Chains A and B, each alone.
Chain A
Amino acid sequence: MRIEENQMWGYFEWLIFKFGLLQGVLVVFALALLGFIACYLVAMARYGPSEGFYHVTRVIYELLARDLPGTSFNRVYALGKLAFQEAIRRRVLVIMAVFIVGLLFAGWFLDPSSENVARLYISFVMTGTSYLILLLGLFLSCFSLPADIKSKTVQTITTKPVRPTEIILGRILGFTAVGTMLILVMGILSYIFVVRGVVHDHGVKDVSADGRLGSTTVDARHTHSFEMVPGEDGNYAEGTTDEQKGHRHVVTVREVNGEKTYEIGPPQGLLEARIPVFGELTIFDRGGNPTMRGLNVGYESEYQSYIEGNSLMAAEWTFDNVYPARFSGGDTLPIEMSLKAFRTLKGDIVTGVQGEIILRNPNGRIESERRPFVVKEFSVDHIEIPRKLPGSQDGVPREVDIFDDLVSEDGQLQVVVRCTDGGQYLGMAVADLYLRAGNANFGWNMFKGFLGIWMQMVLIICLGVMFSTFLSGPVAMVATLTSLMLGFFGGLALDVASGDAPGGGPIESLIRIPMQTGAMVDLDLGNPVLENTVKAIDTGIMYTLVTLFQAIPSFGQFNTADFVAYGFNIFGGLVARHLTMTFAYFVLTSVIAYFFLKTRELAAA
């Protein structure tokens, strides 16, 4: 699981500073312009230049002045309810049955001895739900309107005072209602399934004579050993087990009638929704100066930066708003990190690569002592730093308080990581080290994860309804799927469309073919005005393409199941952003669908 930098943005940060709003407006504008031109060309071919213009503007006028104001809640409700009933009649509830059967037989293909049962179960239920729901959305939305047109029932509808807007909204809302209902039920069943599958009890197998050490029975295919800690009266009252499969249990002792009974509590750390506080990462190069990126160790994945051991290289995270209240009172500051190690020497494999961590006030004057650590690869290293710890001010040793001394006036704290193994490297990305601000509720987090599936479903329904206003059912389905694929691989397509590919844009390339000039040679037509015109048109075409690609929802980003499975709280800002985008696509597809439906001769099919 990798949290992308853009996923950490707050809602308004995305909307305003990351140009989410601007981009949306540009996409809408470009699409509107393109749509107008396309419609005009079609209308011109049919009615001639001026008559065609009249027809196109007429439709826009009708939308804004008549159909939108005339849209009635009652009619949308009636049509939505009809779509709902139609879906139920098409036995969509079978999907529910498939899901339940899947849960019942999950034991056959889910390995309960897996290292992280919770992750496995969560991934299973969420993947299952999303496949079923997305398939459902696809079929419902693509086939409904074409079926109505074919059976001519749409003629009885459109001869009532029904606006095209209402037909589209009714369908989208009706199918969304069906899907919402199913997702809700599936979500609740999933939650029960995951909790029941993960929660387990242990009994006590044996305890050492002095009552300090012990071990538990084997349950859920694992056993723990535990160690008791003496209380104030010197007796063993409480202890914890070791960590197995990502969780621990609390062990308590009770004395009843002079006899000690050990009780082992529920597993802790399994169903979590960790709230990370991410910072900003700066890498310092070998000279100790800030740089854009650290070293690239070649074959390793690109997104991490590497720092070299025993050099001036360092990684520095700066965190904002570090206040005790955010860290449950602030007795300790929990830091979690999952760094990568890269070895150049055959060192001691067992101890691993070593590093150190320093907390620092951004003013650079006060800092904590160096705290060494050994990189735990492939798992999250959890460090609890006590509030008061040894440190120094202006080089003079003293005890420092994290929140009073190390956090600056405006709430900033810096965490510096260095590698202390000469010749070895540590790799990190911005999300690889974060402050841990407690836990959010797991159920609520799972709800947000299912909300992600819900948004994907809405997106599919919108696209399906849009395409079904002018395509037959199967073709609409293919078109919807194609859009989704493009959305999945949107990043790739974007590179092609925006890249400064050698040889220029489409027109320039076309010119180059007969001229047989190499792609690296500048275009020479002997006429600078012409050359610039060609380039300008090409830029226009390329820009339009880029915009269009951006208009395709990058479908995968709405999927936040990994957050749930890997125990990260899904940030509210991310959910809000996805909801905003879903709504934007809903509006966009509805408008496009309106234009197609409005100009379609429904009885001629």
Chain B
Amino acid sequence: MSATTAPEVESPETPEVDSDVVIETRNLGKVYRDFWGRKKVAALKALDIEVKKGEIFGLLGPNGSGKSTTIKLIQGLLFPTSGRAFVFGKEARDVTKNERIGYLPEESYLYKFLNAEETLDFYGRLFDMPAEVRRERSDKLIRMVGLNNARRRQLREYSKGMTRRIGLAQALINEPDLLILDEPTTGMDPIGSREMKDLIIRLRDEGKTILLCSHQLADVQDVCDRVAILHLGELRELGRVDELLKVRDVTEVHAKGLSDELKGKIAELIRNEGGEVVTIDNPTTTMEELFLDIVQDDRPGSRPSAT
């Protein structure tokens, strides 16, 4: 029996290692205080989420809704004022969990006096990787994020989008099992943004877990399997994207090249069969509707039950 070797300080509430749950937060909350300990902002209130292995989980919310705060709490960059967070079954403040995490911060906080190669070599060393692995991986990543032509230039000369790309490469240097991305597409051009999303999906297909946060609805709608919608630090919606967006009594028909005459016929057919035509139009982003619906509903405590 070796079950009693756990150190005494390890609290008994550590979750039973459920290999399927990568991130778990329990009643996680954060109140920012000023120097004198006075309460400034309650940035996050009692968050309970579970991110499962192999999914893309999105945190969606307007600016200042507590997305970055959540991400920092999960990584131990901030200490919670209530509740706890676990990653891979370890406490958020345990640095060894970082071996398996890749993190792209809000802005890429990198050393401006290093060039792309030096940057990746530096972060590779922080994972104790041997020299040839570092060299090979940084080369692969620099090509992958499309910075091959700028690999010897100092980061201070990089544009916003390029900085984002090297930030992403830095997050992937350790081939992480969990990728945490804070607003991954901000600052990227449409092509870069598309590439980023394709990459995220590809990484998920390789079996990695991804937690991303964004205020851009399109991102979330395009790539996420599940989303949590935060507003004013509260969880407002949680569920599968397709489930959340499915309006059960509305059927959407996508067709191309219909003449106005034909559209009229279809409308008539629906009416004849006892249906009701809501719109016959080009489709809108229904995510946006859902989002605006939540955000405009400002009553506190209207948290829905999570799926």
Interfacial residues, chain A to chain B (CB-CB below 8 A): 54, 57-58, 61, 65-67, 70, 72, 74-75, 77-79, 81-82, 85-86, 89, 151-163, 601-604
Return chain B residues, CB-CB under 8 Å to A162: 95, 98, 126
Return chain B residues, CB-CB under 8 Å to A72: 128
The 28 sampled A-B contact pairs (Cβ below 8 Å) are A65-B7, A72-B128, A74-B125, A75-B126, A77-B125, A78-B125, A81-B122, A85-B113, A85-B114, A89-B113, A151-B109, A152-B107, A155-B105, A155-B109, A156-B110, A156-B170, A157-B126, A158-B76, A158-B77, A158-B95, A159-B75, A159-B98, A160-B98, A160-B127, A160-B174, A162-B126, A603-B77, A603-B78
CA distance A604 to B96 in the complex (A): 22
Is A161 in contact with B113, judged by CB distance below 8 angstroms? no
* B: interface residue count bin: 20 to 34
A161-B114 contact in complex given A61-B9, A155-B109, A601-B78, C-beta closer than 8 Å:
no
* 6 shortest interchain CB distances as A-B pairs: A78-B125, A603-B77, A160-B126, A152-B109, A159-B103, A161-B98
List the count of A-B residue pairs having beta carbons below 8 Å apart: 83
A70-B109 contact in complex given A58-B9, A159-B101, C-beta closer than 8 Å:
no
CA distance A161 to B173 in the complex (A): 13
User: Would you list which residues of chain B between 1 and 41 have a CB under 8 Å from chain A?
Assistant: 7, 9, 32
Nearest-Cβ distance from residue B233 to partner chain A, whole angstroms: 16
Return chain A residues, CB-CB under 8 Å to B110: 153, 156
Is A161 in contact with B126, judged by CB distance below 8 angstroms? yes
CA distance A89 to B109 in the complex (A): 18
CA distance A153 to B123 in the complex (A): 12
Q: Does B240 contact A (CB under 8 A)?
A: no
A602-B77 contact in complex given A85-B114, A161-B96, C-beta closer than 8 Å:
yes
- A-facing mask of B67-92, CB < 8 A → 1, else 0? 00000100111110000000000000
Is B96 in contact with A156, judged by CB distance below 8 angstroms? no
Residue from A54, A61, A81, A158 in contact with B7 in the complex, judged by beta carbons closer than 8 Å = A61
Nearest-Cβ distance from residue B134 to partner chain A, whole angstroms: 10
List 14 additional A-B contacts (Cβ < 8 Å) besides A156-B108, A604-B78.
A57-B9, A85-B114, A153-B109, A156-B103, A156-B110, A158-B95, A159-B75, A159-B77, A160-B98, A160-B126, A161-B95, A162-B98, A163-B95, A603-B78
Nearest-Cβ distance from residue B39 to partner chain A, whole angstroms: 13
Is B77 in contact with A155, judged by CB distance below 8 angstroms? yes
Nearest-Cβ distance from residue B123 to partner chain A, whole angstroms: 6
Nearest-Cβ distance from residue A238 to partner chain B, whole angstroms: 63
Residue from A57, A67, A153, A604 in contact with B111 in the complex, judged by beta carbons closer than 8 Å = A153
* Nearest neighbor of B100 in chain A, beta-carbon distance: A161
A156-B109 contact in complex given A61-B7, A61-B9, A65-B7, C-beta closer than 8 Å:
yes
Residue from B7, B32, B122, B128 in contact with A604 in the complex, judged by beta carbons closer than 8 Å = B32
Is A156 in contact with B105, judged by CB distance below 8 angstroms? yes
Return chain B residues, CB-CB under 8 Å to A61: 7, 9
Return chain B residues, CB-CB under 8 Å to A156: 103, 105, 108-110, 123, 170
Is A78 in contact with B109, judged by CB distance below 8 angstroms? no
CA distance A39 to B257 in the complex (A): 73
* Nearest neighbor of B68 in chain A, beta-carbon distance: A603
CA distance A451 to B86 in the complex (A): 49
Is A75 in contact with B101, judged by CB distance below 8 angstroms? no
Q: Does B195 contact A (CB under 8 A)?
A: no
Nearest-Cβ distance from residue B9 to partner chain A, whole angstroms: 5
Counting chain B CB atoms within 10 Å of each CB, the highest count among A66, A77, A160 belongs to: A160
A86-B77 contact in complex given A58-B9, A152-B105, C-beta closer than 8 Å:
no
Q: Does B289 contact A (CB under 8 A)?
A: no
Q: Does B157 contact A (CB under 8 A)?
A: no
Nearest-Cβ distance from residue B82 to partner chain A, whole angstroms: 12
CA distance A460 to B125 in the complex (A): 28
Is A161 in contact with B127, judged by CB distance below 8 angstroms? yes
